[in-house]
Amino acid sequence: MRVSMVVTDLDGTLLDGQRRLSAADRATLEDLGRRGITRVVATGRSLFSARRVLGPDVPIDFLAHTSGAGIVSWPGQESLLARHMPGALSVLLAERLLALELDFMLHRAIPDNHHFFMHKSSRQNHDFDRRVELYAPYAAELRLSLLGREAMCQAVVIEPLTTLGRHAELALALPEFRLIRATSPLDHVSAWFEVFPEGVAKSSAAAWVRERMGNVVGSCVAVGNDYNDVDLLDWADLPFVVANAPEELRVRYPNVPSNEASGFSAAVRQALD
């Protein structure tokens, strides 16, 4: 079956450590366009954050941002899909996270989801502090009395260490929500747990694009590097992980070179061959 769509993660997969797109990977994206193959970037970044590293000339067709909660066309950046949680659900989420004494941000609805309310416990959490510093103009202290008046997008819980035990605890405490585990893109050690309303996932966004483009009979390629790509990799017909992915993922999926060595292009070559 011919390849009809390629979906790739962004940071640590398509971009190198300096958040640059290599000449080889740009050429591969351009070649996919000439072949009529749909090109999708699926990232945990918000649209605001993605625009910081993706110029309008990047040769892709769709951007699935915020782990699939939003989809825009590219380069026009027309909003095609945005998913939110109602105000009452965001209040419930905040109350549960407070009860667990977690450090978290609660983000406003798309397209303003780079704005967030934050809560920090008394413990040390340098990765949390760094993220707040990076987005200081858009951060505000959490006040439950202000919640419930508007829809929200997601919560981001930041734990100082990557622990599967905390992931399991959160999953039990938040059965009404979609929980996505990721490694911190800042210190590469801390665990980030993204909490969304049910139905939000990179794989769901990819399936939405596939249906929209009429590519349901073609094979889909997916390339990733971290735990938040697992649902996408499991959904794809031809999944690949770059060499800088955690060992747990490298033993589970076919491997290609790292993001520093244009692993995305190697994955596409294997899929087309």
Same domain, 123 and 191: yes
The SS3 of residue 77 is coil
* 101, 170: one domain: yes
Range of 98's domain? 87-197
Same domain, 172 and 127: yes
- Together in a domain, 97 and 44: no
d(CA 5, CA 213): 9
Judgement on whether residues 190 and 162 belong to the same structural domain of the protein: yes
> What span, in angstroms and rounded, lies between the C-alpha atoms of 138 and 113?
9
Closest CA to 166 of 123, 103, 122: 103
CA dist 154 and 21 (Å) reads 28
Calculate ∠ Cα 168-172-175, nearest 5°: 125
User: CATH no. for residue 253?
Assistant: 3.40.50.1000
**Is the same domain home to 101 and 153?**
yes
Of 172, 197, 222, the last residue of a domain is: 197
Q: Are 19 and 235 in contact (CB under 8 A)?
A: no
C-alpha to C-alpha distance for 70 and 153, rounded to whole angstroms? 10
Residues 99, 13 within the same domain: no
Q: Does 185 lie in the same domain as 95?
A: yes
* Torsion over CA: 44, 194, 93, 104 (sign): negative
Cis peptide before 75 (omega within 30 of 0): yes
Token duo for residue 114: 């780079």
The whole-number pLDDT of residue 114 equals 96
Give the domain-ending residue among 174, 197, 220: 197
Residues 214 and 157 in one domain: no
Q: In order along the chain (273 residues), what is the average pLDDT of each group of 10 residues?
A: 94 96 98 97 97 95 98 96 95 95 96 96 92 96 88 95 75 94 91 95 97 87 97 97 97 98 98 93
Of 197, 230, 251, which marks where a domain is finished?
A: 197
- The tally of domains found in the chain comes to 2
Same domain for 104 and 173? yes
**CATH number, domain at 147?**
3.30.1240.10
